[in-house]
Amino acid sequence: MAMLREKVFLFLFLIFASKTAAHIYFSGDAAVRPRLDVKTYQDKSEESAISQKRSIDGYYLYRARINIKADIADGFFFQTRLSTNSMANWNKMGDENRLFSSKSHGTSSSGPVDFLQLYIGYKKNKLEFSLGKLPMSHNVLLDTHHYPDYPLDLPYLVIGNQSFTGTKISYANLETFAAIGTTTIPTYYEGQGVNATVNDQLTFGFNYKIQPNKTLALVPTGIVTLSAVDEVDRQNQSRGVRSPARITTGLLMEQKIGKRTTMDLAVGYSMAQVSQNADDFYLDNHQKSDVLVGHVGTQIKELGVGTFKIFAQYAQIRGYPWSSTDNRFETSEYYAVSYLHAQYTVTLAQKDHRTVTVKPTFRYLLHTSSDDELGYIRDTENTFDWYNRIKAELTYNVKF
């Protein structure tokens, strides 16, 4: 921890020392968020002693993010973001895993500081190029592609921190990117007497913004993840090369209605030649599956004293490889996930780009399956799997 902080301080010192050679810009935000978190499980298996379980927890979250940009020369720039490498950069107050000492009080914990983004770029006229650990704007298609077994409740924003390692090239309304996913050296694994050489996992994507008029924007999007697995059996005979892949296509739409209202829609389809579970991407012993996802939302500015935003999402996952420990789920044709998000943002103070806001938010995640009309799915060890969840929170935020 001490070594990491020394690196951060050294990095900041070098930036300040170089101000005579480059224009340095600082920005960021900080927030505190109290949350009420309610999770409900129901296990309908015959051997279950408890048919329903509910947990209610209240806790505080906090975060701070610092953005630093250096304009070098002739369109070249460097940019980085410093914060905690955790879910959406949030730290949980009272997290005993981050105590300085075993004798420290529980509320004295604090999160480390990491480089969440770090890239070199070039931008001039309509052309932009960046290389490094890059930001990526969140949308439901990225959610579905990278988290196909958990496509809703903003996983790319929360779990993926809206960033990737790779390169991005944009020209006018066209944006393309290439990202490195699971890297190998290569890696070998054994399964049922089979050895395999696994190549790197690479993701390519594009989106193109089409504006028929000043109020409507259409963004067709495509994402594909590729790799290769070379398998050899016990007799050292090749079983051939498999090419696991995941493909996601869809359309994002934004429609402005008057001066205050904006409506956004999205529809997408994700198909995998392997299990939808990201951890099983390289395996071939699972049923193949696909995901259909939809999104509809609206935002109304100057509604009362603030801005109101609400959206709903729905995803249907077919052919999901249910756990073999529960026969009821093996016959399930699909399972579905629904998500509702509503928030109201009130600006308390504003000057230039600096703002102080307060935002009450309600979030509801509902899981169902084709043979479970009650909408409850059993509890699992993975905290992101198969339960109903309500989150009510209040975010106090400053931007500078």
pLDDT tens across 146-161, in order?
888 778 888 878 777 7
More confident: 7 or 336: 336
Dihedral sign computed on CA atoms, order 160, 163, 164, 169: positive
Which residues partner with 56 through β-bridges?
A: 38
Which residues partner with 124 through β-bridges?
A: 127
Pairing of strands 91-92, 114-124: unpaired
d(CA 219, CA 253): 6
pLDDT score, position 231: 64
**pTM exceeding the 0.85 threshold for the entire prediction:** no
Q: Taking a C-beta distance cutoff of 8 angstroms, is the pair 161, 117 a contact?
A: no
Q: Which two tokens stand for residue 395?
A: 């975010």
Question: Measured between alpha carbons, how far is residue 40 from residues 51, 158, 371, 373, 390 in Å?
Answer: 11, 21, 18, 15, 9
Give the residue among 333, 305, 303 at the shortest CA–CA distance from 318: 333
Give 372's DSSP letter.
B
d(CA 373, CA 385): 18
Least confident of 24-28, 95-99, 133-137, 332-336: 95-99
> For residue 47, what pLDDT band results from cuts at 50, 70 and 90?
low
Instruction: Please state the rounded mean pLDDT for residues 364-380.
Output: 59
d(CA 378, CA 213): 48
pLDDT of 330 above 60: no
d(CA 271, CA 142): 13
Long-range CB pairs of 376-385 (<8 Å, 24+ gap) are: 376/40, 376/41, 376/42, 376/44, 376/52, 377/41, 377/42, 377/335, 378/41, 378/42, 378/43, 378/44, 378/45, 378/326, 378/329, 379/41, 379/43, 379/53, 380/323, 384/150, 384/155, 384/159, 385/149, 385/150
More confident: 332 or 333: 333
Give 283's DSSP letter.
-
Give the residue among 395, 400, 399, 398 at the shortest CA–CA distance from 33: 395
Q: Which two tokens stand for residue 177?
A: 């990117």
Residue carrying structure tokens 């990201």: 278
Give me the DSSP letters along 107-164: GG-----EEEEEEEEEEETTEEEEEEEEE----HHHHHHH-TTS-SSSHHHHTSTTEE
The mean pLDDT value of the chain amounts to 78
Least confident of 66-70, 110-114, 303-307: 110-114
Q: Which two tokens stand for residue 169?
A: 């090239």
More confident: 100 or 206: 206
E strand intervals along 233-320: 238-242, 245-257, 261-272, 289-303, 306-318
How confident is the model over 181-216, as pLDDT tens digits? 765 544 444 555 556 666 667 889 999 999 999 999
Which residues partner with 191 through β-bridges?
A: 194
pLDDT score, position 329: 43
